[in-house]
Amino acid sequence: MSIIRLKITIDTQSDVYREIEIHSEATLLHLHHALLDSYGWVSGEMASFFESDSHWNKGQEFSLIDEVGNGDMSQTKISKMMKDPSSKAVY
């Protein structure tokens, strides 16, 4: 299991970012909680991760509540979405 470093940028404020180190085999749910903690946000809102291309177009969705069977944050490992160092995602 390897540790990866992710740079998280708020799209409305490019100068506000966090760098998070997390195991690549951790779930997206763990990453979701790491983001909440790092920004001081409160849990309770719906959230999703989306695979993204280099132009930030959204691809497959991984959500807290997977209503249509496409992707569940609690079951999906970060390594599935972030396949290489150039991978991008939208939260």
For 16-71, how does the pLDDT look when each residue is reduced to its tens digit (9 = 90+)? 888 999 999 999 999 999 999 998 988 888 899 999 999 999 999 999 887 777 78
pLDDT band at residue 85 under the 50/70/90 scheme: confident
What's the average model confidence in pLDDT over 1-15? 81
Q: What is the pLDDT of residue 33?
A: 95
pLDDT band at residue 1 under the 50/70/90 scheme: low
Q: Which amino acid is at 88?
A: K
Q: What is the pLDDT of residue 68?
A: 73
Going through 1-91 in order, the beta strands assigned E by DSSP cover 3-10, 13-23, 48-52, 58-63, 88-90
CA atoms within 13 A on the CB side of 42: 1
pLDDT band at residue 14 under the 50/70/90 scheme: low
